[in-house]
Chain A
């Protein structure tokens, strides 16, 4: 029988430990986890991007529910362990579950420190530690009132920046004279304060909180000098304490944290501890890099290995506030035995300081330009004697030894064991080695295989440079990088920032994201217009001048400047009346070509632009609406005859196709979307080469997606089988909405799906009912603004100027 392993706490440290353990000793333990938080393991570091809106909670989940199931782990969510009985070897939760263990791991993390002033327990005073705190802040932010953050450290500033992004007025109170004084020297602290204030956040230093005031809920803060600062929300971010109380009660040796040896063993040989609650060699930690090292050692210990002990190392600090670059490492206090080298560039807001002792770096502070952080870290870790490069050291790696001023050369010069990703402790050699060994070609793959840049993401640039170095010309970061010549940002970053900073017009995007051209180009403008339509369906005013002519005039331009018109024929079904109306229009406007399209409908080609409104007017009277044959939007839903007629039909494929088309027409998408519904696996509607396809079977509806049959031919992937038409519709709508929200402009579903992974799509829209429903609801909401027939709008006079010349200069022979 497997040994019983019980874990208290389900944070980042034990999560990582389990990954190592499952790899090293699969099946050795029957694992049970108790977590006081009612959720799975997520990336706590990324709470700030969730707060600011740059990420959704779902995006920061490390292990989804499926992971626990797949690995046979029992997870008790929302169970706080209240007692450890070391005699009986059991733990008991506050909800009365008692579980026996052979080995126990305590990973209770930290608790936020609350300054004991009057009023600290008023409603409206919260700490910043977990998702519940973030949700509480988001709720408070809806009121758009005033927030006060107590504490000008990493957490406090991230909270302040997030709340500001969410529209609150924010004041930061900091008791010391400069911000982040534990990580920054006063000069950098000053620059940081300027940068924070430049975002409209008020900063009060030397501000000592005396009391929190309010009648029944928080109304303000009273400072030691009697000043009252108004506040409807108070976030206390003044520090954390290792959460060692439970271990102490159980009689384990504790000091600041739970005392362990280098193999993470506590004073009881059956009990280990990892994470912020652990104290190793007199140190406790508050950043993940050392915790992940603990996790590695503890997993090895549990697996019966002997791969070394935990060794202390300094971890660099970075602030995850978009647009503020700051890096600090090691010890930078002044001292008689120390020397320092400083570089300042006031106009660029750059400050760099390296602290030396015996010609070796012991500390570094960088503000405004942090690219050399990894290099300084490496020199420090290796205790390199820098006397040879002393004069140029501060200018960074590019200036050493006459190396060319090439950013790639700087990365090339890093040693293989130089750390690139601090969060996950991934060094250069591991990244380049894995790229070669596994044949990786994209950043996402490198993240998946090495974890480099998969946590806080600040080292993404370095990882990309390594990819360029390793893959040479075959890796073109250009393919993932700038949207166009007007910006250095890629599509994904632009989409993220549009949401995070609530940018709601094209000029706002261009201003805030520092576009290099005054009004963009024909590549970025249509993309931005789509992103804004998708993200703010109710608020954004569509910018027609940023649409390609086809989407402006709602017809397809032809090589001779005439247009083609394709009305909707729902599901490919038509009638005598419709056909007659088409015939009449063709005669009346002398339309030269009438053709049946590959999408089961009729195309009228060669119509003069000036005639378009009149053509639509006639078609409209017969009930036709635009077929969007020109749109990055829903095109056709092909169907076969299904149960209505076919002797093999299993479901009403025609009816369902029409239902889908009527539900989804009018929606704008990153690239065109084509669908089909076939009544049985003979698949006469060719559903398995569509963006989304349905194959009806006896037991229900098999939903396919990510097919293509144009520039590329690709059979679809199966998303899953559902029983009813209603369920099928919900899944289809959800997958399209997920695509709408995530894809890059002009990226068809199959390319997007390849990037994010079929499994991920399945996980989000099939396995996770709540998420599916949310996608569905967002689609339905946006349809309220999208399902307007553009043809009838134009028949009633919209955009008249598009369809006729401003004037005709008529001379006697003017005949045009």
Chain B
């Protein structure tokens, strides 16, 4: 795997607690989540069920419920919880002095 590049996307304060924002990339949307205890997670913003935008779901604990058909996705592992099966890609996150950086592979981003 090629080295990650850390992209600054904004501050913690840009995301509401128990909420999310999305980041538009040429490769598709990434959902960035902030939990009640201020942990930040990033996952692909594309539900493994039928592609719902996870960043528009309800955030609870370290999980999000998809707005379309209520699948629950773990923010830590990207896996669907409960009886449903499926997973989304997780993206590394670094928080430094309140700024959020996502670890993305420049190779992928640069590609078509």
Are A809 and B58 neighbours in the complex by a CB distance under 8 Å?
no
Given contacts A557-B67, A559-B68, A801-B14, contact A816 B26 (CB under 8 A): yes
In the complex, which residues of chain B have a beta carbon less than 8 angstroms from the beta carbon of A806?
9-10, 14-15, 21-23, 32
Given contacts A808-B23, A809-B26, A814-B25, contact A517 B10 (CB under 8 A): no
Interface of chain A residues 508 through 565 with chain B (CB within 8 A): 517-522, 525-526, 544-550, 552-553, 557, 559, 561
Distance between Cα atoms of A808 and B24 in the complex (Å): 4
Distance between Cα atoms of A811 and B70 in the complex (Å): 33
Chain B minimum-CB-distance residue to A486: B60
Distance between Cα atoms of A806 and B23 in the complex (Å): 6
Are A557 and B24 neighbours in the complex by a CB distance under 8 Å?
no
Given contacts A557-B67, A805-B24, contact A522 B56 (CB under 8 A): no
Residue B65 interfacial (CB < 8 Å): yes
In the complex, which residues of chain A have a beta carbon less than 8 angstroms from the beta carbon of B95?
none
Distance between Cα atoms of A544 and B26 in the complex (Å): 30
Q: How far is the CB of B18 from chain A (nearest CB, A)?
A: 4
Chain A minimum-CB-distance residue to B17: A545
Interface of chain B residues 10 through 62 with chain A (CB within 8 A): 10, 14-19, 21-26, 28-29, 32, 35-37, 50-53, 56-61
Are A517 and B61 neighbours in the complex by a CB distance under 8 Å?
yes
In the complex, which residues of chain B have a beta carbon less than 8 angstroms from the beta carbon of A518?
36-37, 61
Residue B110 interfacial (CB < 8 Å): yes
Distance between Cα atoms of A578 and B31 in the complex (Å): 38
Distance between Cα atoms of A408 and B66 in the complex (Å): 37
Distance between Cα atoms of A544 and B56 in the complex (Å): 12
Chain A minimum-CB-distance residue to B46: A561
Residue A815 interfacial (CB < 8 Å): yes
Distance between Cα atoms of A559 and B47 in the complex (Å): 12
Q: How many A-B residue pairs have CB under 8 A?
A: 99
Residue B72 interfacial (CB < 8 Å): yes
Distance between Cα atoms of A663 and B39 in the complex (Å): 43
Residue A813 interfacial (CB < 8 Å): yes
Q: How far is the CB of A679 from chain B (nearest CB, A)?
A: 40
Residue A621 interfacial (CB < 8 Å): no
In the complex, which residues of chain B have a beta carbon less than 8 angstroms from the beta carbon of A809?
7, 9, 23-26, 104, 109
Chain A minimum-CB-distance residue to B19: A545
In the complex, which residues of chain A have a beta carbon less than 8 angstroms from the beta carbon of B110?
811
Are A522 and B70 neighbours in the complex by a CB distance under 8 Å?
yes
Distance between Cα atoms of A808 and B10 in the complex (Å): 11
Distance between Cα atoms of A801 and B61 in the complex (Å): 21
Q: How many residues of A contact B (CB 8 A)?
A: 31
Are B109 and A546 neighbours in the complex by a CB distance under 8 Å?
no
Q: How far is the CB of B75 from chain A (nearest CB, A)?
A: 13
Interface of chain A residues 550 through 592 with chain B (CB within 8 A): 550, 552-553, 557, 559, 561
Q: How far is the CB of B69 from chain A (nearest CB, A)?
A: 10
In the complex, which residues of chain B have a beta carbon less than 8 angstroms from the beta carbon of A143?
none
Q: Chain B, interface size: which category?
A: 35 or more
Distance between Cα atoms of A553 and B60 in the complex (Å): 19
Distance between Cα atoms of A180 and B8 in the complex (Å): 66
Distance between Cα atoms of A815 and B24 in the complex (Å): 9
In the complex, which residues of chain A have a beta carbon less than 8 angstroms from the beta carbon of B112?
813
In the complex, which residues of chain A have a beta carbon less than 8 angstroms from the beta carbon of B19?
545
In the complex, which residues of chain B have a beta carbon less than 8 angstroms from the beta carbon of A816?
24-26, 28-29
In the complex, which residues of chain A have a beta carbon less than 8 angstroms from the beta carbon of B68?
557, 559
Chain B minimum-CB-distance residue to A526: B58
Chain B minimum-CB-distance residue to A545: B18
In the complex, which residues of chain B have a beta carbon less than 8 angstroms from the beta carbon of A519?
18, 35-36, 60-61
Q: How far is the CB of B104 from chain A (nearest CB, A)?
A: 8
Residue A807 interfacial (CB < 8 Å): yes
Distance between Cα atoms of A805 and B7 in the complex (Å): 15
Are B21 and A801 neighbours in the complex by a CB distance under 8 Å?
yes
Chain A minimum-CB-distance residue to B32: A806
In the complex, which residues of chain B have a beta carbon less than 8 angstroms from the beta carbon of A520?
60
In the complex, which residues of chain B have a beta carbon less than 8 angstroms from the beta carbon of A546?
18, 58
Are B26 and A814 neighbours in the complex by a CB distance under 8 Å?
yes
Distance between Cα atoms of A807 and B32 in the complex (Å): 11
In the complex, which residues of chain B have a beta carbon less than 8 angstroms from the beta carbon of A549?
56-58, 67
In the complex, which residues of chain A have a beta carbon less than 8 angstroms from the beta carbon of B21?
801, 805-806
Are B60 and A521 neighbours in the complex by a CB distance under 8 Å?
yes
Distance between Cα atoms of A549 and B19 in the complex (Å): 11
Q: How far is the CB of A33 from chain B (nearest CB, A)?
A: 55
Among A521, A553, A815, the most chain B Cβ lie within 10 Å of the Cβ of A521
Distance between Cα atoms of A806 and B70 in the complex (Å): 24
Are A522 and B72 neighbours in the complex by a CB distance under 8 Å?
yes
In the complex, which residues of chain A have a beta carbon less than 8 angstroms from the beta carbon of B35?
519
Chain B minimum-CB-distance residue to A507: B36
Distance between Cα atoms of A561 and B28 in the complex (Å): 13
In the complex, which residues of chain A have a beta carbon less than 8 angstroms from the beta carbon of B7?
809
Q: How far is the CB of A509 from chain B (nearest CB, A)?
A: 14
Given contacts A806-B10, A807-B23, A814-B26, contact A522 B58 (CB under 8 A): yes
In the complex, which residues of chain A have a beta carbon less than 8 angstroms from the beta carbon of B36?
518-519
Q: How far is the CB of A120 from chain B (nearest CB, A)?
A: 53
Chain B minimum-CB-distance residue to A521: B60
Are A805 and B23 neighbours in the complex by a CB distance under 8 Å?
yes
Distance between Cα atoms of A525 and B15 in the complex (Å): 19
Chain A minimum-CB-distance residue to B82: A485
Q: How far is the CB of A780 from chain B (nearest CB, A)?
A: 31
Chain B minimum-CB-distance residue to A524: B60
In the complex, which residues of chain B have a beta carbon less than 8 angstroms from the beta carbon of A801?
14-16, 21
Are B67 and A811 neighbours in the complex by a CB distance under 8 Å?
no
Q: How far is the CB of B19 from chain A (nearest CB, A)?
A: 5
Q: How far is the CB of A527 from chain B (nearest CB, A)?
A: 12
Distance between Cα atoms of A517 and B58 in the complex (Å): 15
Q: How far is the CB of A388 from chain B (nearest CB, A)?
A: 47
In the complex, which residues of chain B have a beta carbon less than 8 angstroms from the beta carbon of A814?
24-26
Distance between Cα atoms of A610 and B46 in the complex (Å): 18
Are B50 and A559 neighbours in the complex by a CB distance under 8 Å?
yes
Are B50 and A522 neighbours in the complex by a CB distance under 8 Å?
no
Interface of chain A residues 790 through 816 with chain B (CB within 8 A): 801, 805-809, 811, 813-816
Distance between Cα atoms of A522 and B64 in the complex (Å): 8
Q: How far is the CB of B108 from chain A (nearest CB, A)?
A: 10
Chain A minimum-CB-distance residue to B28: A816
In the complex, which residues of chain B have a beta carbon less than 8 angstroms from the beta carbon of A811?
26, 109-110
In the complex, which residues of chain A have a beta carbon less than 8 angstroms from the beta carbon of B15?
801, 806
Q: How far is the CB of A195 from chain B (nearest CB, A)?
A: 31
Q: How far is the CB of B61 from chain A (nearest CB, A)?
A: 6
Chain A minimum-CB-distance residue to B11: A806
In the complex, which residues of chain B have a beta carbon less than 8 angstroms from the beta carbon of A561?
51-53, 56
Given contacts A519-B18, A519-B36, A805-B21, contact A525 B58 (CB under 8 A): yes
Among A553, A806, A813, A814, the most chain B Cβ lie within 10 Å of the Cβ of A806
Interface of chain A residues 489 through 523 with chain B (CB within 8 A): 517-522
In the complex, which residues of chain A have a beta carbon less than 8 angstroms from the beta carbon of B109?
809, 811
In the complex, which residues of chain B have a beta carbon less than 8 angstroms from the beta carbon of A815?
26
In the complex, which residues of chain B have a beta carbon less than 8 angstroms from the beta carbon of A559?
50, 68
Q: Could you pull out 20 A-B pairs where Cβ atoms are within 8 angstroms?
A: A517-B61, A518-B61, A520-B60, A522-B60, A545-B19, A545-B59, A548-B58, A549-B56, A549-B67, A553-B56, A557-B56, A561-B53, A808-B24, A808-B25, A809-B7, A809-B104, A811-B109, A814-B26, A816-B28, A816-B29
| A-B pairs with lowest CB-CB distance, top 8 | A522-B65, A806-B21, A808-B24, A545-B18, A522-B58, A549-B67, A549-B56, A816-B24
